[in-house]
């Protein structure tokens, strides 16, 4: 699934799903927010791993691997 990274004028970031699944998150964005990056990932864990790599924050570690590593398909989101 496609994910989007938005940056608001004050530097705050929102990383969310594209499309209907991300509507609630995007509705909270400042009108001046800019879409700066998009990436496809098969799971939340993969998306966050790619986001951390893009931001050069090191390795992403989840506290909930049994949930976060399930693919979106397994969760019925696709």
**8-21, pLDDT tens digit by residue?**
999 999 999 999 99
- The separation between the first and the last C-alpha atoms of the chain, rounded to the nearest angstrom, is 8
The domains of the chain are located at 2-68
Beta bridge pairs of residue 2: 40
- Could you tell me the pTM of the whole model? 0.92
Instruction: Measure Cα distances from 56 to 2, 6, 20, 38, 59 in Å.
Output: 20, 17, 28, 16, 9
Q: For 21-55, write each residue's pLDDT tens digit.
A: 999 999 999 999 999 999 999 999 999 999 999 99
């Amino acid at each position: 699934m496609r994910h989007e990274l938005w940056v608001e004028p004050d530097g705050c970031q929102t990383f969310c799903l594209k499309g209907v699944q991300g509507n609630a998150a995007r509705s909270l964005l400042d009108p001046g927010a800019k879409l700066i990056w998009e990436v496809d990932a098969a799971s939340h864990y993969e998306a966050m791993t790619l986001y951390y790599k893009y931001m050069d924050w090191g390795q992403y570690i989840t506290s909930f691997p049994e949930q976060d590593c399930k693919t979106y398909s397994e969760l019925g989101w696709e």
